[in-house]
Amino acid sequence: MSEPRRGRLTVYLGAAPGVGKTYAMLGEARRRLDRGTDVVVGYVETHDRPHTSAQLEGLEVVPRRELTYRGTTFTEMDTDAIVARAPAVVLVDELAHTNVPGSRHEKRAQDIEELRAAGIDVITTVNIQHLESLNDEVERITGVRQRETVPDDVVRTADQIQLVDMSPDALRRRMAHGNVYRAENIDASLTSYFRVGNLTALRELALLWLADRVDDALGDYRRAQGIAHPWPTKERIVVAVTGGPESETLLRRGARLAQRAAGSDLLAVHVIATDGLRHHDETRIARAQQLVASLGGSFHSVVGEDVPAAVVDFATGANATMIVVGVSRHGRVRQLFTGTTGDRIASLAGPVDVHLVTHDEVPRAVRRVPRRASPLSRRRQVAGWLAAMLVPLVLTEVLQLQDDTRQLPLAVMAFLAATVLVALVGGMASALITALIGFLALNWFFTEPVGRLTVSEPTNVVALLVYVTVAVGVA
């Protein structure tokens, strides 16, 4: 036996009071009614606004029920009457409303859940300042503490969310024309809660909150469709944390990168070995968790034996746009045989950008030493390179003119002198070229067998090695 149909929830989310969310909800109700849908009004608060009241005309309104509390009579939505009427769609204004004590449910959101359980679709309204997660932020912006709030999940899990937005200037004009509050309240509202700065901040909160909800929906869609590669719909920075002393540096760099784009996410990931034997400094890990929380990010631990692969898998699953990783703390010898984590992450990351960050823990042998400018003038450097090419050639020709110069020691001394001369003129680089050409000339022209780059006498091998050592040292 199939489960009974659950009603759908549509939420009109207002960026600020007075933007027209109730009016927009009534407009949708009228459109549905014109299409033949059975629509009723469960609870709508017009606040005596003429345009909103006009939208109610022609819609069936379920009478409210009366409750008496401390000698005063109040009216609330009659949930039982709506369930008995069993419409296709019901309109319920002010989702965050708190019911009068003595009602079956404390919050109107619970009444809506009961209506949905009965298979009735619900269209409701709520302003961004009534979301529980934004309560403190709204108070800092406006100076007003919202007494009535609704858990974010109630709105976040709605089947459809419609943002009702309006520029601050347009909303203030509506207020000035008396379309929001009564005339006696307009001036006070415009100079306090409805200042341009307040409205701009509330509008940004609404857009960012809704963007997060859309991003969650996108993640659900990617998982359902088996889409592995990331879709860079928003900036999401993943920082690979090792638990080493450089972790805090990486997190702060990642936070600065995330701050460059509004609405960016910061995620820290720490890879734990599958065998549990890899040692990590738990104190540093705890400090990293506290730091990332203070930076507005989240900390995640994943299990994996291959650290680079685990980091990339996490980043891909999180739909990240960038991975921040530190330069390896290991020396060059170990890097030569095992490679670096940063290099492997870059090779596996695919379309995800990789940001490599240096830090104080990098071995000195790994750090690049800035190239110092040569103290020699440009003219002397050019002269040195010309001498490096010409002096060995000229010296070889001169030595070959004399029959008795085919003695290796004399030739070695001559080429050493040439190397010193070039070093004095053009510096180390040109002198090294002279030493290399001299070695080849000595081997080819003055070492038996002549005309071949081989040496038959062991003493000649020693002489050539001494020449190369002294020439490089002099250079």
Q: pLDDT digit of tens for each residue in the chain (475 aa)?
A: 567 889 999 999 998 888 999 999 999 999 999 999 999 999 999 888 888 889 998 899 999 999 988 889 999 999 999 999 999 999 999 999 999 998 999 999 999 999 999 999 999 999 999 999 888 888 888 888 888 999 999 998 999 999 998 888 888 888 777 677 665 566 566 666 778 888 888 888 888 788 777 656 555 555 665 655 555 557 889 999 987 788 888 998 988 888 877 668 899 999 887 655 555 678 888 888 999 888 888 999 888 888 889 999 888 888 888 999 988 765 554 444 445 778 888 888 888 889 888 866 555 444 444 455 556 677 888 888 888 888 888 888 887 776 654 566 777 778 778 888 887 787 777 877 877 787 777 767 777 777 776 666 666 566 666 666 665 665 5
CA angle 36, 42, 45 (to 5 degrees): 115
Nearest to residue 398, comparing CAs of 445, 436, 459, 443?
A: 445
For the whole model, what pTM was predicted?
Answer: 0.54
Distance CA(290)–CA(145), nearest Å, equals 28
Nearest to residue 108, comparing CAs of 63, 49, 155, 170?
A: 155
Residue 78, Ramachandran bin (φ over 0: left; ψ between -120 and 50: alpha; else beta): beta
Q: CA torsion, points 44, 46, 52, 58, in degrees to nearest 10?
A: 50
- Contacts of residue 369, defined as CB under 8 A and 6 or more positions apart, other chains included, come to none
Instruction: Give the chain's domains with CATH numbers.
Output: 9-223 (3.40.50.300), 236-357 (3.40.50.620), 378-474 (no CATH)
Q: Contact at 8 Å (CB) between 77 and 64?
A: yes
Distance CA(384)–CA(380), nearest Å, equals 6
Tell the residue number behind the tokens 């080819």, with chain if given. Answer: 444
What count of residues does the chain have? 475
Task: State phi, psi for 291 to the nearest 5 degrees.
Answer: -65, -45
Distance CA(142)–CA(319), nearest Å, equals 34
Provide the token pair at 474: 């002099």
Distance CA(222)–CA(336), nearest Å, equals 39
Amino acid at 233: T
- Contacts of residue 43, defined as CB under 8 A and 6 or more positions apart, other chains included, come to 64, 76, 77, 91, 92, 93, 94, 108
Distance CA(358)–CA(324), nearest Å, equals 11
- Contacts of residue 111, defined as CB under 8 A and 6 or more positions apart, other chains included, come to 77, 79, 92, 99, 104, 105
